Amino acid sequence: MKTGISPTDINIHVELRELINSEWVNKVVDEYVLTPKSIAIVNKIESYFNTQHKKSNNALMGEGFEENAQKYNELFPKRKLGSGKPARSHIKNIVTAFKWFFENYDYSWDVILHATELYLEKEEETGYKYTRTSQYFIKKQDVSDKSINSELANFCQLSIDGEEFEKPQFTEKVF
């Protein structure tokens, strides 16, 4: 009974043929080279072990990110929203969400705070009926397709573009 595989048990020609057929390796003249598909998976695996490229919270979110995260969270009202959830999330959840945000977007804290104020002013008009929690405003995963989106990023762009929300001049009354 064999308990393991030794190098003499491997048929290199069969293995190489399978790697070529699966498009992991290409034969170029007398050499075998990795395909872009192979290189991508190697890079992905290496990224799990390469910690020197990961930025610290201060390097990623700036000095004093805790105070800015706290200011952000305090912009949200002290109440439950229409969903029944509290508007303000726990600060550790906020910091984790902001870490993701700063890895994916490049906005300053001033823009973030202004965009949040814009959002909350708009939501206040509806009594916070469909307002997102402070955490979900930063980052929310769509359950249907598992995509992650940020309403905060959308409002940051609105803020940069100089958009303001105005009350509509005309409203319709339906009887």
Asked whether 75 and 117 are in contact (CB, 8 A), the reply is yes
- Return d(Cα 95, Cα 72) in angstroms, integer: 10
* φ, ψ dihedrals at 147, nearest 5°: -75, 155
Strands 140-141 and 25-28: unpaired
State the burial class of residue 159 (Cβ atoms within 10 Å of its Cβ: 0-12, 13-18, 19+): buried
Q: Mean pLDDT of successive 10-residue segments in the chain (175 residues)?
A: 68 88 87 86 78 71 91 95 92 94 92 95 90 95 88 92 61 59
Instruction: Give residue 37's pLDDT.
Output: 86
- Return d(Cα 158, Cα 56) in angstroms, integer: 29
- Return d(Cα 19, Cα 164) in angstroms, integer: 56
- Return d(Cα 102, Cα 6) in angstroms, integer: 48
- Return d(Cα 159, Cα 167) in angstroms, integer: 17
Instruction: Write down the domain spans for the chain.
Output: 11-49, 57-161
- Return d(Cα 168, Cα 122) in angstroms, integer: 12
Instruction: Give residue 134's pLDDT.
Output: 95
Instruction: Give residue 87's pLDDT.
Output: 94
**Partner residues linked to 31 by β-bridges:** 28
CA neighbor of 62 nearest in space, from 27, 23, 108, 127: 108
- Return d(Cα 37, Cα 22) in angstroms, integer: 10
